[in-house]
């Protein structure tokens, strides 16, 4: 099958087109013909080698963490899907590889795709949708009437998180550039922060939740806008000891994560708030709930640009440059 691979880690390394073996189908797996694949900043970070410590992939590696396509084969123990089903998924972190014509995934990580949208739109959703769901619903327990600050509101996670938070009944503040302010308001943001000009501490206070995706300086400011007992969920680091336990990290790796997160944990204690790191995990049941929200009209996909399969490097460059409003997708079939 045709795929795009990395042969070695490095920021300046390009994806290489390659002819790779079709993936094996285990008893609990579905083999999916890829119609479209979402492109994420995570893909660039994996290529650059930023996750070698916690995601020790073997090389060569097929990149890609979002998929929409059609089931063409099922394993002996699969009960939820059949050939011909249109599905979408974020593969488990150990089985990525959606920049390819086929991918095999455990059925528990897969869901029927929303019926009301295209394959390209469906491929834009899994990673950002699961990230927003696990941050706001699972970790933060966001409830109706609470207030949440979502950083990078015009990005892939931000555009989904704004809509999800509004569906949950929260008051939503979001940061973005002045050029995107009106657009972010239309997504549902009640308050828009110009990250280049505004001082968030002078505008926001007594917030219940922050979805953090920026740098350390922004994290400290965001902790200070939280009410006592509020929660900051970070998707940009630093990884903490709870995450080390979640992935079964070695003593050495767990110690490194404890050191990396020491400053953030200390600042959270000083502000009387909670700090939590999130590295999103695959979850087909949550994708099923997200599909229902999409088909009901509560959430709509935001796709900035669709690239041809042969232009996978251009798509990754576009995402890494930070120019995308919403998600970028590669059309495979």
pLDDT band at 144 (very low <50, low <70, confident <90, very high): very high
User: For the chain, which residues make up each domain, given as ranges?
Assistant: 2-125+301-331, 127-277
Q: Are 207 and 140 in contact (CB under 8 A)?
A: no
Whole-angstrom Cα distance, residue 293 to residue 124? 15
- Contact of 130 with 90, CB cutoff 8 Å: yes
Distance between first and last Cα of the chain: 12
Place of tokens 């088909």: 295
Whether 237 shows a pLDDT value over 90: the answer reads no
Per-residue model confidence (pLDDT) at position 197: 94
pTM: 0.96
Helix (H) / strand (E) containing 162: helix 156-167
206 close to 183: Cβ distance less than 8 angstroms: no
Summarised one tens digit per residue, pLDDT across range 84-102 is 999 999 999 999 999 999 9
Local confidence band at 19 (pLDDT 50, 70, 90 cut-offs)? very high
Mean pLDDT of 29-39: 98
Residue 23's pLDDT band, with cuts at 50, 70 and 90, is very high
pLDDT at 43 over 90: yes
Local structure of residue 177 (DSSP, 8 states): -
Superfamily of the domain at 127-277 = NAD(P)-binding Rossmann-like Domain (3.40.50.720)
Report pLDDT for 112. 98
Q: Are strands 16-19 and 2-6 parallel, antiparallel or unpaired?
A: antiparallel
> How many C-beta atoms lie closer than 10 Å to residue 298's C-beta?
14
CATH of domain 2-125+301-331: 3.90.180.10
Pair 55, 95: CB distance under 8 Å: no
**159: pLDDT strictly greater than 90:** yes
């Amino acid at each position: 099958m045709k795929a795009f691979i990395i042969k070695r880690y490095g920021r300046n390394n390009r994806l290489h087109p390659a002819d790779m073996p079709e993936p094996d189908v285990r008893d609990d797996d579905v083999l999916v013909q890829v119609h479209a694949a979402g492109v994420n900043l995570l893909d660039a970070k994996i290529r650059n080698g930023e996750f070698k410590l916690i995601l020790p992939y073997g090389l060569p590696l097929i990149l890609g963490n979002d998929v929409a396509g059609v089931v063409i084969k099922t394993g002996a123990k699969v009960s939820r899907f059949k050939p011909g089903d249109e599905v979408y998924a974020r593969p488990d972190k150990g089985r990525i590889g959606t920049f390819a014509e086929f991918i095999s995934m455990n059925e528990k990580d897969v869901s029927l795709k929303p019926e009301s949208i295209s394959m390209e739109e469906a491929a834009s959703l899994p990673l950002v949708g699961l990230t927003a769901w696990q941050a706001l619903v699972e970790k933060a327990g966001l409830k109706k009437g609470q207030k949440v600050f979502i950083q990078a509101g015009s990005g892939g996670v931000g555009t989904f998180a704004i809509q999800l938070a509004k569906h949950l009944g929260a008051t939503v503040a979001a940061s973005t550039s002045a050029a995107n302010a009106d657009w972010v308001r239309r997504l549902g943001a009640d308050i828009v922060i110009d990250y280049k000009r505004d001082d968030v501490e002078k505008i926001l206070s007594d917030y219940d939740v922050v979805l953090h995706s920026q740098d350390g300086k922004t994290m400290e400011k965001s902790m200070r806008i939280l009410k006592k007992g509020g929660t900051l969920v970070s998707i940009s680091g630093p990884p903490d000891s709870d995450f080390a336990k979640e992935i079964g990290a070695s003593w050495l790796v767990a110690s490194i994560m404890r050191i990396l997160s020491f400053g953030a944990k200390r600042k959270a204690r000083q502000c009387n708030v909670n700090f939590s790191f999130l590295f999103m995990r695959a979850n087909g049941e949550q994708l099923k709930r997200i599909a229902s929200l999409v088909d009901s009209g509560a959430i709509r996909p935001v796709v900035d640009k669709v690239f041809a399969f042969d232009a996978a490097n251009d798509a990754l460059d576009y995402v890494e440059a930070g120019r995308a409003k919403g998600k970028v997708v590669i059309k495979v079939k």
